Structure 1
Amino acid sequence: MKKAKLFKALAVTMVLAMSTSLFVGCGDDSSKNASTDTSAKSIEDSVTQVKTKLTNAKLDGEKAPVEGTVLTTMTSFTPPPAGHGNPAVNGGPDWSVEPIIYDYLCDYSSQPQKTFKPSLLEKYEFKDKVLTMTLKKDLKWSDGSPLNADDLICNTFIDMTVNKIAYFADSVTKKDDLTVEIKYNKDANLLLDYILKSSVKYSASEYGKWAEQFRVAFEKYREFDDNKNYKFNKDGDKLVADTTKEFNNYLPDILKIKCSGAYVPTKVTSSETIFERNKYFRTPPLIEKIRGLRPTTTESTAIALMNKEYDAEGMGISPDLAKKVAENNKDTIRQLLVPEYSSFGFCFNINKAPTDDVRVRKAIAYIVDKAQIAPVSEPGMRLGDEYGVGLPPSVRDKYLSKDFLKTLANYTMDKDKATKLLEEAGWSKKGGKWVNSKGESPEIKIAGVGEYPAFVVMGEAAANMLKDFGLNATFTPKEAAAYNDYSTSGDAHMVVDGFGSPTNTQHPYEAYDGIWWYGKKMNIKFPTSGGLVFKDEVTGKDFKYSEKEMELFSAKDDKEVSAKTEEFAKFFNDNMWYLPVTEKYYIFRIHNPKLSMPEAKTGEQLKDFYWSGTTSAILGKSLRSGQMYYIK
């Protein structure tokens, strides 16, 4: 009987969520932007302002014994047999698992000000363009073997294009068993952001042979470009490409990998991963095990929440379900509003008809009513960047002036502009349907992760809006474990994802550097060697993407950052490769009334060292610092 009532309540919730999606998808036929009746702030407040008994993430009281404690949360992972233990390859430990099983040189946050808190490092010093990093003594991997400077160098070279030493460092030298020195050829504000926040994932004993090949490319096959930044020569490009291919074919069992972090995976099924304390970790965490549940469908997520299976999570759920969960658990739940500094929207396939035509992409941008979709996609979501410049508004408005933005196209819904663009592209309307110059109505395939309600709302709503306008659009939800492969396959025309997300640094460089990953979802044809150069479809001129990235990275102050950011903003505004819908803020829910976390007031938007970024980043920092535990 109890189970029947649960499913009845759940059904009502899901119907409400579906009704919201249908409302979003059906717009009127007015040509100008229809202002939404649903305020993002009112939806957010309806959830976060539910009065709760507990009002702080940190609890007073004596700590409970560690033995027997289990934290149940959400983790994203690829289940067996496809899952593996190489974190650099799809199917390996991802963003939600890395902070749990790996430790970082420094725990990092740009909020409320840029802070590097040494974690694996005992200390670091940056002086006269030389960074000296000294590891803590007696560090060990999860198998008990020493973690030392050899491992630090191994990680530094494997990640050399990520941490940017490939472009800006003269040398990397082991000084002793604990100390590594990096000599840079310039003093840029972002250098430390990219090296000190690195996790240590690759042991020299296991990954050293590939690190050595990357080291050879670094030391022997680089040359200066015109701006005195390093680049690989032809031989270097080939060596890096060949080594990367071999490295990516190494797919170890995730249960046998060495971990530098507080926990190690000990069991993986299709539905959950169990992590147990790393007995060799430098500071034993205060929770014995972590149970990471893998969301498989929106229904399974709703059931797990209603059944109170989670101790803490920050999953995106429908506004109706979020409000119901809060109201039904006022005596136990705590809700924190966390900024992620990320965007969600649609990556366009720029090399498959009909979205290979920039006029069609821009028409779609004008048809989709972002202001209607954003607030109902997930509580906390704000309207994204209506100019399509590749930055969330919170970062965009720091670096781009209102006067500059007025020079760009504003893609707020405008059906007249959409009609004009389609006609310019040779399309016409027949029998209520738009057809191209061949008289065909090509399908516009849209895809998103089926387990993520916000992705489903965005995808369904956009498809419905395009269909209402007369275009042949379809939305297909995809299983999360297979989404990366599908979204980079080039099959869909629009995939829901997160380009323009400077989550770690809140700096435009991070957002635009994401082109190397999100560009795959845009079906960009990357060169096999050399830097990126793209044709601006409006100006007809070459946009030297990689060269301008280096200039942005090297910018010395906010004024120079703004000037360089304007160039990228104009390029993305012109070409509409990415259609933003939301800027992501999310609600982190602590369900267990005995779970204590770093201090933070409930119901308020946070800006804190611990409380910013992704949910797993919050968990990782909290667990490693000993600020996450149960009370008696």
Structure 2
Amino acid sequence: MKKNKSLLLLLTLVLALSTLLAACGSNDKGASNGGKNNTPAENASSGEEKLAADQTLRVNLSAEPPTFDPAQAQDSQANTVLKTMYEGLARMDEHGQPVPAAAEKWDVDGTKYTFHLRKDAKWSNGDPVTANDFVFAWERVLSPNTKPAAPYAYQLYYLKNAQAYNEGKITDFSQVGVKATDDYTLEVELDAPTPYFLGLTSFYTFYPVHQSVKDDAKWAVDASKMIVNGPFTLTTWIKGQTIEVTKNENYWDKDDIKLNKITMSLVNSGATEITSYRNNELDRAGHPNGEIPTDQIPIVQKELKDEYKVKGIASTYYYQFNVTAKPFDNAKIRKAFAMAIDRQIIVDKVTLGGQIPAFGFIPPGIAGVNDEYRTEVKDDYFTENVEEAKKLLEEGMQEEGYTKLPDITLTYNSSEAHKKIALAVADMWKKNLGVDVKTENQEWAVFIENRKNLNYQVARAGWSADYNDPMTFIDLWTSNSGNNDIGFKNEEFDKLIAEAKAIEDNTKRNENFKKAEEILVKDNMAIMPIYYYTNVAVEKPWLKGVSLDFSGAIDYTRAYITDARK
């Protein structure tokens, strides 16, 4: 397939700016000395731009986060809000590099990390943030008694004995590689060198949690009980309508926070969102948490050209098969469905945002050995071939004894864009394979729950990088991953990932990733790649300081409004 060269250039630039933790070793010294870059807000306060009197940011989430519990979160909506309310040991700056946050500095000696916490860091109720709060939170994530089980528990498996504790093979948490040596010193020991570990500490699964949540099952759905350590506190939560966070006066770096409030509407309509934006009721619209209707993208691009922004991001849009449910428990049938669509037509005629057709799972923008992984390892695991797809479908049906396929439903979460893609794909399946597929939309929380419980046949999905390494896309399909919601289990795949986590040779790691991706896509077609994302949004000229990293994750905490706001 011909690639969009301008978009690939964008992705290359993104990678150059955000090599996240592939290059973090060179930044360890600066980070351990507590250095941080000046933010746009600091520049503004020095006289370059005058701040507006009303520092209220207005955005739309389009879907309500299913939870505000860092241990249970697993979606981009929750990520955006949790990032305003919590802070890990490190946070990512505007260049995608880890900088000191709850920890003012750290020392790294091979697999041992010593984090020195800020003595002025406080919870929103005034309590000090201590090393024991991190130990408490991480034990909560890993505990076999946590119900429901934390979906991202496997992200802590880098810690010594963490997996064994999570799987109940050892019962004493003191054997896990994390301990508080005093109130402000946290020692972490890893199983193996992990170059991207510092970046992981900025991820929500690694956030501290106030110990008052112990034995309180409802704290994460009650705004009055949410004691947080980040720049903002949750002050309003009207289910299905709005979420509002307000500046946390107990936050250690409050002087660097210019916004007083962020209001997030929960309107699941791209048409309404872009209308609100045009009416100056929103300061930003579009991805990653909202959307611009695809049929309006050409109009918006023309009429709001100075506000229109498109950026290649390290994220993949795909359909996933429930490999335990008929008829998709047959690999040949899965392959037939994947080969029977035209991805170029989808990105050219449906999504209209400069996306790139995907034939692998790991997207451009992820670091490889010397370049991008996707440059070093081509995504040529399958081709689009209708005749071959028909042949595979027939063979798969014969193997299963089908004279006719069972009824099939394609499920997607409520979104105009997802609906258009689903209808286009279903139409291609009908035209090219003669298969009728019903499409069904579900509200976000219901959709996530059904996927988690394998209550679907084929479903829309998307995955964004949690850190800049191929591992973030590959290890979620291991047998023990809490995010593996397709029922895929493969011993060779698991072995390749375990080896990749234990070795430092990046060339060898890449070989393992390539073999694992072949098993996932080429051999089993457990997931069906469709395209590599772009971030398409519009942003008012008076909004400054919004950080959109290489993965498409957005950070509003250092944003501010200039007095140009209308």
Q: Shift of the alpha carbon at 1:61?
A: 4.7
Farther-moved stretch of structure 1 (83-92 vs 575-584): 83-92
Change over 3 Å in CA distance of 1:91–1:596 after alignment to 2: closer
Of the candidates 233, 243, 248, which is equivalent to residue 273 of structure 1? 243
For residues 331-370 of structure 1, the aligned pairs below 5 Å read: 333-370=306-343
In structure 2, the partner of 1:99 is 83
**Structure 1 residue 462 and structure 2 residue 434: aligned?**
no
Q: TM-score, normalised by structure 2?
A: 0.77
In structure 2, the partner of 1:320 is 295
Q: Shift of the alpha carbon at 1:190?
A: 3.3
Q: Shift of the alpha carbon at 1:294?
A: 1.4
**Structure 1 residue 568 and structure 2 residue 538: aligned?**
no
Is the Cα–Cα contact under 8 Å of residues 131 and 182 in structure 1 kept in the other structure?
A: yes
Farther-moved stretch of structure 1 (290-299 vs 131-140): 290-299
Alpha-carbon separation, structure 1, partners of 2:412 and 2:381 = 27
Alpha-carbon separation, structure 2, partners of 1:198 and 1:426 = 44
Of the candidates 460, 464, 468, which is equivalent to residue 496 of structure 1? 460
Change over 3 Å in CA distance of 1:159–1:631 after alignment to 2: farther
Alpha-carbon separation, structure 2, partners of 1:611 and 1:298 = 20
Alpha-carbon separation, structure 1, partners of 2:63 and 2:223 = 11
**Structure 1 residue 283 and structure 2 residue 247: aligned?**
no
In structure 2, the partner of 1:74 is 60
Is the Cα–Cα contact under 8 Å of residues 103 and 260 in structure 1 kept in the other structure?
A: yes
Is the Cα–Cα contact under 8 Å of residues 596 and 630 in structure 1 kept in the other structure?
A: yes
In structure 1, the partner of 2:231 is 262
In structure 2, the partner of 1:413 is 384
**Structure 1 residue 558 and structure 2 residue 564: aligned?**
no
Is the Cα–Cα contact under 8 Å of residues 456 and 477 in structure 1 kept in the other structure?
A: yes
Is the Cα–Cα contact under 8 Å of residues 344 and 583 in structure 1 kept in the other structure?
A: yes
Change over 3 Å in CA distance of 1:201–1:400 after alignment to 2: closer
In structure 1, the partner of 2:172 is none
Is the Cα–Cα contact under 8 Å of residues 442 and 472 in structure 1 kept in the other structure?
A: no
Of the candidates 612, 622, 628, which is equivalent to residue 549 of structure 2? 612
Of the candidates 74, 92, 112, which is equivalent to residue 108 of structure 1? 92
The code of the aligned residue for 1:275 comes to V
SS at match of 1:94: helix
In structure 2, the partner of 1:509 is 471
Is the Cα–Cα contact under 8 Å of residues 460 and 475 in structure 1 kept in the other structure?
A: yes
Of the candidates 106, 123, 138, which is equivalent to residue 156 of structure 1? 138
After superposition, what is the alpha-carbon deviation per residue over 1:64-95, rounded to whole angstroms, capped at 9, x for unaligned? 255x321001235538xxx6543333699812
**Structure 1 residue 118 and structure 2 residue 87: aligned?**
no
Alpha-carbon separation, structure 1, partners of 2:396 and 2:236 = 54
In structure 1, the partner of 2:109 is 127
**Structure 1 residue 64 and structure 2 residue 12: aligned?**
no
In structure 2, the partner of 1:230 is none
The code of the aligned residue for 1:507 comes to D
Change over 3 Å in CA distance of 1:438–1:505 after alignment to 2: closer
In structure 2, the partner of 1:485 is 449
Is the Cα–Cα contact under 8 Å of residues 60 and 266 in structure 2 kept in the other structure?
A: yes
Change over 3 Å in CA distance of 1:199–1:421 after alignment to 2: closer
For residues 133-532 of structure 1, the aligned pairs below 5 Å read: 133-160=115-142, 161=153, 162-167=155-160, 171-195=177-201, 197=203, 201-207=207-213, 251-269=220-238, 270-284=240-254, 285-315=257-287, 316-329=291-304, 333-386=306-359, 388=360, 390-395=361-366, 398-399=372-373, 409-410=381-382, 412-426=383-397, 437-451=401-415, 453-469=416-432, 470-499=434-463, 501=464, 503-515=465-477, 516-520=481-485, 522-524=486-488
Q: Shift of the alpha carbon at 1:349?
A: 1.4
The alignment covers a number of residue pairs equal to: 492
Structure 2: give runs of 5+ residues left out of the alignment: 10-39, 143-152, 163-175
Alpha-carbon separation, structure 2, partners of 1:414 and 1:203 = 51
Q: Shift of the alpha carbon at 1:360?
A: 0.7
Alpha-carbon separation, structure 2, partners of 1:272 and 1:357 = 43
Change over 3 Å in CA distance of 1:443–1:328 after alignment to 2: same
Is the Cα–Cα contact under 8 Å of residues 179 and 186 in structure 2 kept in the other structure?
A: yes
**Structure 1 residue 631 and structure 2 residue 563: aligned?**
yes
Alpha-carbon separation, structure 1, partners of 2:195 and 2:406 = 47
Change over 3 Å in CA distance of 1:271–1:379 after alignment to 2: farther
The code of the aligned residue for 1:124 comes to W
The code of the aligned residue for 1:416 comes to E
Sequence identity, in percent? 19
After superposition, what is the alpha-carbon deviation per residue over 1:473-514, rounded to whole angstroms, capped at 9, x for unaligned? 121222223221233343432111024x4x232311111122
Change over 3 Å in CA distance of 1:43–1:512 after alignment to 2: closer
In structure 1, the partner of 2:545 is 597
In structure 1, the partner of 2:71 is 88
After superposition, what is the alpha-carbon deviation per residue over 1:239-288, rounded to whole angstroms, capped at 9, x for unaligned? xxxxxxxx978754134211111111211222211111112111222111
Q: Shift of the alpha carbon at 1:203?
A: 3.1
Alpha-carbon separation, structure 2, partners of 1:492 and 1:252 = 27
SS at match of 1:175: strand
Alpha-carbon separation, structure 2, partners of 1:510 and 1:90 = 16
Change over 3 Å in CA distance of 1:128–1:488 after alignment to 2: closer
SS at match of 1:98: helix
In structure 1, the partner of 2:492 is 543
Alpha-carbon separation, structure 1, partners of 2:372 and 2:6 = 25
Structure 1: give runs of 5+ residues left out of the alignment: 1-34, 46-55, 210-246, 429-435, 525-532, 535-541, 599-609
The code of the aligned residue for 1:257 comes to M
Change over 3 Å in CA distance of 1:306–1:128 after alignment to 2: closer
Change over 3 Å in CA distance of 1:343–1:577 after alignment to 2: same
Q: Shift of the alpha carbon at 1:385?
A: 2.7
In structure 2, the partner of 1:239 is none
Alpha-carbon separation, structure 2, partners of 1:491 and 1:197 = 28
Change over 3 Å in CA distance of 1:63–1:204 after alignment to 2: same
Q: Shift of the alpha carbon at 1:441?
A: 4.0
SS at match of 2:427: helix
SS at match of 1:107: strand
After superposition, what is the alpha-carbon deviation per residue over 1:138-184, rounded to whole angstroms, capped at 9, x for unaligned? 21111222211221222333345423344467632322221111233
SS at match of 2:518: helix
Q: Shift of the alpha carbon at 1:365?
A: 0.8
The code of the aligned residue for 2:555 comes to I
Q: Tell me how large the CA RMSD over aligned residues is.
A: 3.5
Q: TM-score, normalised by structure 1?
A: 0.70
After superposition, what is the alpha-carbon deviation per residue over 1:357-411, rounded to whole angstroms, capped at 9, x for unaligned? 111100001111112112444454422431x4x2114448834677x759x642x
Change over 3 Å in CA distance of 1:91–1:423 after alignment to 2: closer
Is the Cα–Cα contact under 8 Å of residues 180 and 187 in structure 2 kept in the other structure?
A: yes
